[in-house]
Amino acid sequence: MKVLVCGGAGYIGSHTCVALIEQGHEVVIYDNLCHGSISAVDHIRQLSGASVRFVEGDIRDRESLEAVLATGFDAVMHFAALKIMSESCRFPLLYFDNNVAGTITLLQAMQSTGVQRLVFSSSAAVYGDPDVVPINEDAPLRACNPYSHSKLVMEQLIEEVCDARPSFSATILRYFNPAGAHPSGLMGEDPCGVPTNLMPYVAQVAAGLQERLHVFGGDYPTRDGTGVRDYIHVMDLADAHAKALELLRRGGCHVLNLGTGRGYSVLEVVEAFEHVSGCRVPYEIVDRRPGDVAEVWADPSRAEHALGWRAQHDLVRMCADAWRWQSMHPHGYQSAQVIELRQVVPSTGLR
């Protein structure tokens, strides 16, 4: 298929582009570079050997989207969302503007250009504090912050479009905790400032870029008192997206969890990373963060049945690939430059 990857210069989007090209698909990347990097696009080209087209544009810019989509596409992958929970609490209007309004604009542009297939990057955050673990797709949905609420609204919009237009098909993928990097070390997670995700935070402490890891809460009812999460390798996520394209041929709307089915505590991740890197990761137990829950991990059986997919990489491999990326890119794609969050003005262009 020919696929427009919105947000394809970001962490998960860039790894997915490589997987798509390896499986014979043609990829065009559409990204406003708010959190993505043009260097990631260069590495996609290097790893795939393909002359990937890149369009700089904002998902809220319907004219730009329609101009690109009008060149002919079989499907769209939608990664173009802001994603930091704590940040969403400070900038709720920005999150709803980019995530929800942007998704409406994308769906309108797809409708006007006749593109009928969509793979959407959602989040296990829509489950909130679960009643039981592992979590399956029928669990109650309890978005508890602007980020997760925006993801839930985005899901509902897509489902409503599928209901209203039988010709439209979508696959909604609810990730648990993406981690790791491309095994080459050329692509990985490049957070702005102090990381909010555990794995890059641990990697920066191991590399000496951060003094110590703050562990938010040591008194949860878990095996060592720290929070337990389902960490999934970004390359496993990328593979699931490629398989999701085939599921779109069946029509309808499909909602699938992407996880390993196993949870690891914060201290277990620290221990594994120390073992792989040979570096000490000093940490300090601090107060819990509002909204954090004790244990979250997936029941991924529906994805295995629907996609023929199962996560292949374990925690040690995630740590090893994350450490290789960190060692090769100690300051991320942009050397020592730290890019602050900005409210991006819709723009267009071709690179």
Segment 90-98 long-range contacts (CB within 8 Å, at least 24 positions apart): 91/146, 91/341, 92/146, 94/343, 95/146, 95/147, 95/150, 96/146, 96/150, 96/153, 97/60, 98/59, 98/60, 98/344
Give the strand pairing for 228-229 and 264-265: antiparallel
Residue 333 a catalytic site member: no
CB 3 within 8 A of CB 110: no
The CA distance from 324 to 326, in Å, is 5
The CA distance from 148 to 128, in Å, is 8
Cβ neighbour number for residue 250 with a 10 Å cutoff: 10
Residue with token string 């209901």: 163
The CA distance from 177 to 11, in Å, is 13
DSSP 34-86: SS--HHHHHHHHHHH----EEEE--TT-HHHHHHHHTT--SEEEE------HH
**11, 30, 147, 264: the active-site residue:** 147
Using CA atoms of 217, 203, 335, 16 in order, give the dihedral in degrees to the nearest 10: -100
By annotation, the residues acting in catalysis are 147
